[in-house]
A and B are shown apart, each in its own frame.
Chain A
Amino acid sequence: MNNSMIIGQYVPGHSLIHRLDPRTKILIIFFFVITVFFANSVWSYAILTAFAIGTALATRVPLSFVAKGLKPVWFLIIFTFLLHLFVSRQGDILFTVLGFPFYEESLIQGATLSLRFFLLILFTSLLTLTTSPIEITDAIESLLHPLKRIKFPVHELALMMSISLRFIPTLMQEAEKISKAQASRGVDFRTGSIKDRMSAIIPLLIPLFVSAFKRAEELAMAMEARGYQGGEGRTKIRELVFYKKDYSAFLFFLLVIAATIGTRM
């Protein structure tokens, strides 16, 4: 079975970025996204780009994996650029190719928008590349904790996420088993018209759903038998701790923000 599909994009490793607290990473990403929208000069963009690429290199994740994460959005990045280039007409005409005028302002706008896009996607993808899904779940639970006061079901949300993570591989194994069983009876999932293929999926989906419901019911009973009564008064074995490296990361990031703001026009 394809393991990489199960755990998403996560590439296990021991780099500094891997070892940062997941909350540190999420918070830095959050503020990075905001900062990107404040950049407006060559220097501020240069600083953010250097920071993003530097961080990407520091993860020591092979660049091919990083590129794979960007793949679905390359198209959007290029499309944004071209759209600005050809459609909007602002500023002076820079040059003309075969009678088609290129405007200076459009070129700059197209380039900065694409760059912003690129920076956002690159930087956010570093989270999923260096952080396991369960760590992200823990971080979300911890960061959303204050929302408990307004009765937001933080614990339940986190539990749902972690149980889904737990059962995705199980259900995939089962789907594979069922599809093999159906294939051995002559069901063809690969050829034929879309309609044929859709109807071939049904005998796969129905047993899968039936068993998922049965699993859910049994799991709920097992959890109850093991004393689960909701998040109240519960302790946790997985713990998140901010270490010195997290504070250093925050401090360094503050400098990056300061430099970006300082070089704005």
Chain B
Amino acid sequence: MSEQVEFRNVSFRYQEDAPRVLKDVDFSIDRGEWVAIIGHNGSGKSTIAKLMNGLLFAESGEVRVSGEVIGEENVWDVRKQVGMVFQNPDNQFVGTTVRDDVAFGMENRGIPREDMLRKVPESLKAVQMEAYEEHEPHRLSGGQKQRVAIAGVLAVAPDYMILDEATAMLDPKGRQEILETVRNVQQESDLTLITITHDLNEIVAADRVIVMNEGEVWFEGTPREVFSHKEALSRIGLDVPFVAKLTEELRSQGVHVKEEPLNHEEMVEELWNLRSKM
């Protein structure tokens, strides 16, 4: 079976009398795929993430991970398969040193000490943090802490990794570090990757994008398809990146831009093509 994560008509609310935060959410994610979930603040993205590893349970509908419906009885098995990185770099750093933190998930799984001592440097290497094993968290930047968090997930070799706005609290440099790390990890492993963001710039490298709005799946498609809905995107509270705005602007001036350029390089390429045709 290639469908690995499935949401079937999932609805959820935090309290009995509160409005629904998710309404009939329905999508599936394939093995090895990189899916970006994007939406404005409060659109239900984190709720989706928490439903995926049993931190919350669906009110109606089904959430399946590797074919099994998540429930109270298999939640710890699911958590072994689904690694998660949260938004705040400080509030997920458990260990007093980098090594202790990377080992935390392995310790919870009862992995023998010798294996941990081998795995910790390996995982740190995958996020280019091998030189920091002895460091305490308060001597690390936000981006470095988030990379340690990713290493902690990699160390337990899950099938899925969810990054819930893992870059949102970082400066541009830290953000770049994390995006690169994620791209490397995705290329070098067969992890199914789910990155959650409210920044359209961060969906570019994903295979597929799910756009959330007010607790509903508003759109599903490739990054390029998403970018072709600029006006609608800004209507649901997402900041359209500069390149997409420029495309729009050029078109309105009668310049025929064929494809949706995703980044500066593609835009420059497109403009060269246009010029050579003129």
Measured CB to CB, the residues of A under 8 A from B are 6, 134, 162-163, 165-166, 169-170, 173, 214-215, 218-219, 221-229, 233-239
Contacts and interface: CB of A to CB of B under 8 A. Distances in A.
A235 B113 contact: yes
Interface string B74-98: 0010011001101010111111100
A159 to B, nearest CB: 9
Contact of A170 (B53, B79, B108, B138): B138
Interface of B: 53, 55, 76, 79-80, 83-84, 86, 88, 90-96, 99-100, 103-113, 116-117, 120, 136-138, 152, 156
Interface on chain B toward A: helix, strand, loop, or mixed SS?
A: helix
A237 B103 contact: yes
Interface on chain A toward B: helix, strand, loop, or mixed SS?
A: helix
B93 A235 contact: no
Given A226-B104, A227-B76, 14 more contacts: A6-B138, A162-B96, A170-B138, A173-B138, A214-B91, A218-B92, A225-B55, A225-B79, A226-B84, A226-B108, A226-B152, A235-B113, A237-B100, A237-B116
A222 B86 contact: yes
A221 B55 contact: yes
B96 to A, nearest CB: 5
Given A215-B90, A215-B91, A224-B55, A235 B105 contact: no
- Could you say which of B91, B110, B116, B152 has the most chain A C-beta atoms within 10 Å of its C-beta? B91
B158 to A, nearest CB: 10
Nearest to B102: A237
Nearest to A219: B91
A227 B76 CA distance: 7
B50 to A, nearest CB: 8
A166 B90 CA distance: 10
Nearest to B82: A225
- Could you say which of A6, A169, A218, A222 has the most chain B C-beta atoms within 10 Å of its C-beta? A222
Contacts of A233: 110
B84 A225 contact: yes
Contacts of A221: 55, 86
A134 B96 contact: yes
A248 B106 CA distance: 35
A234 B117 contact: no
8 contacts: A165-B96, A169-B137, A170-B90, A170-B137, A225-B55, A228-B108, A235-B110, A235-B112
